[in-house]
Structure 1
Amino acid sequence: MDSKDLTKVQKDREEKLKILREKGFNYPNKFEKKDYLGEISSKFSKSSKSSLEGKKVSICTAGRIVLKRVMGNAAFMTLEDSSGRLQIFLSRNKLNEKLDEAKDLDLGDIIGVKGILFRTNTDELTVDLDSFELLTKSLKPMPEKYKGLTDIETIYRKRYLDLMSNPESREVFIKRNKIIKSLRANLESNGFLEVETPMMHPIPGGANARPFETHHNALDKKLYLRVAPELYLKRLLVGGYEKVFEINRNFRNEGISTIHNPEFTMLEFYEAYGDLQRTAKFIQKLIQDSILVVNDSLKITYDQKNINFEKDFEIRSLKELVKEELNVESLENEEDIFDLAKKKKIKIEKNWGWGKVLLELFEKFVEKKLWQPTFVKDYPFEVSPLSRRKDEEKEFTDRVELFIAGKEFANFFNELNDPHDQEQRFLDQVKQKDSGDDEAMFFDDDYLDALYHGMPPAVGVGIGIDRLVMLATDKTSIRDVVFFPTLK
């Protein structure tokens, strides 16, 4: 429909509304809806025509008109609500002059109806209307009824039109809700307490990321939207809670892509006296249950490739994966790592140590090939400013990341609770920031003070919920699983 036709349609509908207003119509704000369309269809799906005639099932419902077929003294329409669709039948025998008013209804209008359930001669479950009421007049037309909404730009910018016309889009977000409920139920059944921590931080921390800045006028103070809740959740461990979690919104002032949105949803949980191996098993269960709650099997297809969640997830060392993928025998010292990076044409910044270079090699050559669920362990301490060093290999940390379909899905580690070590790492981060690294962490005096009071040994976990929903629903763009994504 071109803009000229659209203007004409809108003018016609505005004229209809004007006439309705002259008759006293004023967008009613109350209708006692007793029945939901999808529930009616499900409940009476097996009821025969004769049994419905005997029961005289009374229906009081409401929904948006999505289909309309008008005949001489009758009309069929299909209503849609959040639960599904159902056909209604309007006849002059019951509605008299109100039928002419009904014929003037448009696709997209929202109406409340009352009537008796029956089956048509073609055996379709239908409500024979005794009365109807216009609740909302739609002044702009719905997307084309057969094609639905197909323009990607409009789908993301006007999600309400997408949800209105594409049932599969609505289903994705219902599945998202099921996944979050599954995660929450798993954590609560394992003794974790759900908490809320600040969204605005005086000092950004908890992740290497560029923050969004804002200003508090009354305090005349700069604040930052949180990049992660980690440091506040660990303050709660210091305070005496031993198992806490938060399903949270994070904000990172970084690029936009099919897997990155400036605001996104994370699950973070912390367990005092936790164990990495036990935590890995728990994460595996969280992922498996999330897949199963919206799929019939733990064997799924994502981006046209198979993923098997039935088996225990593989556990591999980061350095060994780099050696294996790039077919090198030794990466035992700093010189080996820098030489390999130069050979592979990695652009090395002047402030990078061997740990950062090793991570760059992993991210460029290995990460995208980890398709089946794989835990990657032993990250260099240089790129793990909040992780505890390994006892036997001080240059590495007790940190693990989970990769599936070539993307990171979880990050977890033994938390650093040595205040002297943490203080030095904060100082190292400040040096990196002064050298031009915008993602390096700030020095957080208050968090350091909390550590000086003593934090128990603990494991902390972060899981990206948006990516998990993408995986479970076979969506390759984060924009498909976020109601209102940020766009250029």
Structure 2
Amino acid sequence: MSDVPSDISHDQHAVRRQKLADLRAGGFDPFRANVAVTHFSQDAKALFVEGQEYGPVVTVAGRLVTFRVQGGSSFVKIQDQQGPIQLYFRRDVIGEERYGVFKKSLDLGDIIGVTGALFKTKTGEITVRVDAFTLVSKALRPLPEKWHGLSDAEQVYRQRYLDLIVNAESRKRLMLRSKIVSQVRRFLEDKQFLEVETPVLQAVAGGAAARPFTTHHNTLGMDFVLRISLELYLKRMLVAGYDRVFEIGRNFRNEGVSRRHNPEFTMLEVYQAYSDYRGMMTLVQELMRHLVRDVVKPTEAEGEGENAPRRATMKIKHAASGQDIDFGAEWREVKYKDLIIEKTGDAQWFSRSKEEKIAGVQKLGLFADVKWEEFELTNEIFGKLIEPTLIQPTFVTHLPKELCPLAKITPDDPTTIDVFELIIGGMEIAPAYSEQNDPDVQRQMFEAQAGEEKQNIDQDFLLALEHGMPPAGGMGIGIDRLCILLTGAESIRDVILYPQLRNAQA
């Protein structure tokens, strides 16, 4: 697959293969060469001291992203993990023979290493004056055309490596994802949370209501599922005496694909003994503000005009609505029931019959399946008409108990649970609970959720609870959704390196 016409791509492929053959015939195989890199591009440029004619000698390597030969001297650019750096080749510096190799053998997309001193050009760009270079990988196929990038949206995801070469925004976004995950880990470790790893292959799909992927272990002679949640094994760690634990890991759900859903996704789950859902409120607020302030580092103009000075802010732009999300302001807290009553205009909504609720959902212009339970009818209103409107950080608390069997029942309202859903930018970022640690109540809630499918209850987890689990707060954060929010991406595919796709058509 290529983003240039097939005949042009074929011609370039043939020319490049001939160049490779000529190099090998001359006794040089680029795929057996290497280079001892001393610096990444931006680290190298940072070494240059203003006022000097030449800076230190560095060795850098990367892919040729601009390549135009001009007589006896040429400026080109290579790109590495940190970005681009300019190189200056001169015939009288590297010699006639090597300059001939440079002109005749290299192509856009080749990977080279160079050694030379840093200097600043008349236009102010820090550049390496090349004393020696080595071709270490010949690109046999051309890159997508620079100014148009990948025109096929599917190709962006199928050939992510090309997208990352030619698309600076993609590189920046996915580098930021790495920094976000790293800082989440460091933030929790600084608060004495221990990172643990729990099984991906599980006998029972527990911790969420979702359709799992199934597999079979030949040696053990038994079926397994890929985990749909991290929760139940992490709670076993609380039983074991690990008071603060977290895991950043992959979950797998054999369900739909959408702008916010991928079958394979990354979750953070964190559990803290002797805490509750309000403790998780404090934790997630501190975490989010840290990520915005110290990782995303947004700024805003201090006046009018394109060149106005900028200052640090706690606001980021919400792409879909155009609103500024202010993480530094007070975060709203509101009960789920109050939002439903406000939207329906019916103060008696929660005492209405199922038939009345169906009519109420339909009156709001939504589909209502007669097979749905009453809480599902209500949650359709929340999911379709309320959640998308909550752009500023909002803790929606005390959800119906049917939505989660793993949380404690609210003491003064047995129809709800002590939980919150943190909604930012119109999507759920983090649910959190006061974790249920009464084994008898937990069994009852599991059985009510499972109905006739009692085999889907994790009996070993219930056994663990009977040994005693301390009161705790627990929280999950979808890392992919978090990255959508903090990078301004439009889709989950834009923050996952390799999203699941249908097979490419022949």
TM over 0.5: yes
Change in Cα spacing, 1:178 to 1:353, as seen in structure 2 (3 Å) is: same
Cα shift at 1:415: 1.1
CA contact (8 A) 1:415 1:457 kept: yes
Aligned to 2:498: 484
Which residue of structure 1 lines up, in the alignment, with residue 97 of structure 2? 97
Per the TM alignment, residue 214 of structure 1 is displaced from its structure 2 partner at its CA by 0.9
CA contact (8 A) 1:322 1:365 kept: no
Q: Retained in 2: the 8 A contact 1:258–1:479?
A: yes
Question: Which piece of structure 1 moves more, 370-379 or 417-426?
Answer: 417-426
Q: Following TM superposition, by how much is the alpha carbon of 1:381 offset from its aligned partner in structure 2, in angstroms?
A: 1.4
1:294 correspondence with 2:291 = no
Q: How does 1:199-238 map to 2 (within 5 A)?
A: 199-238=200-239
Tell me the alpha carbon deviations over residues 301-331 of structure 1, each in whole angstroms, 9 at most, x when there is no partner.
Answer: 1112221111221111111101101211222
**Alignment CA distance shift 1:123-1:409 (3 Å):** closer
Of the candidates 1, 4, 15, which is equivalent to residue 7 of structure 2?
4
Residue 19 (str. 1) matches residue 2 (str. 2): no
Change (3 A) 1:122 1:362: closer
- Residues 357-402 of structure 1, C-alpha deviations (whole Å, 9 max, x = no match): 3222322321111111111111111221111111221121112111
Listed one character per residue, the Cα deviations across residues 427-454 of structure 1 (whole Å, up to 9, x for unaligned) are 22221659xxxxxx92111111111111
Name the structure 1 match of 2:336.
Answer: 318
In 2, Cα distance between equivalents of 1:432 and 1:389: 23
Is it true that 1:37 corresponds to 2:54 in the alignment?
no
* CA RMSD between the two structures: 1.8
Matched letter for residue 57 of structure 2 = S
Letter in 1 for 2:395: F
Match of 2:308 in 1: none
Instruction: Tell me how far 1:158 sits from its aligned partner.
Output: 0.7
Q: CA deviation at 1:478?
A: 0.6
Give the superposition deviation at 1:149.
3.0
- AA aligned to 1:466 is D
Q: Could you tell me which residue of structure 2 aligns to residue 420 of structure 1?
A: 440
Unaligned 5+ segments in structure 2 are: 299-312
Q: TM-score, structure 2 length as denominator?
A: 0.90
1:190 aligns with 2:191: yes
Task: Give the Cα separation in 2 of the matches to 1:359 and 1:121.
Answer: 63
- How many angstroms apart in 1 are the aligned matches of 2:402 and 2:120? 70
- Aligned residue runs from structure 1 range 52-451, under 5 A: 52-53=53-54, 57-94=56-93, 95-104=95-104, 105-292=106-293, 293-296=295-298, 297-303=313-319, 304-335=322-353, 338-345=355-362, 346-350=367-371, 352-431=372-451, 442-451=456-465
Secondary structure in structure 1 of the residue aligned to 2:132: strand
Question: 1:365 & 1:341 partners in 2: Cα distance?
Answer: 15
Aligned pair in 2 of structure 1 residues 369, 125: CA closer, same or farther (>3 Å)? closer
SS at match of 1:204: coil
Deviation at 1:69, TM superposition (A): 2.0
Distance 1:353 1:154 in 2: 42
Alignment check: 8 A CA contact 1:375 1:401 kept: yes
Alignment partners' CA distance in 2, 1:277 and 1:122: 56
Q: Amino acid of the residue matched to residue 347 of structure 1?
A: A
Instruction: Report what 1:438 is aligned to.
Output: none
| 1:21-55: CA deviation from partner (whole Å, max 9, x where unpaired) | 122223125321112222222332x624xx224x5
Report if the CA contact (8 A) 2:64-2:110 is conserved.
yes
**Alpha-carbon separation, structure 1, partners of 2:260 and 2:207:** 20
Distance 1:118 1:186 in 2: 39
Alignment partners' CA distance in 2, 1:402 and 1:178 = 22
Aligned residue number for residue 437 of structure 1 = none
1:457 maps to 2:458:
no
C-alpha deviation, 1:111, in angstroms: 0.9
User: Percent of counterpart pairs with the same letter?
Assistant: 41
Q: Using the TM superposition, give the Cα deviation of residue 259 of structure 1 relative to its aligned residue in structure 2, in angstroms.
A: 0.5
Match among 454, 466, 485 for residue 471 of structure 1:
485
Segment drifting more, 399-408 vs 271-280: 271-280
Do the aligned residues in 1 keep the contact of 2:361 with 2:368 (CA within 8 Å)?
no
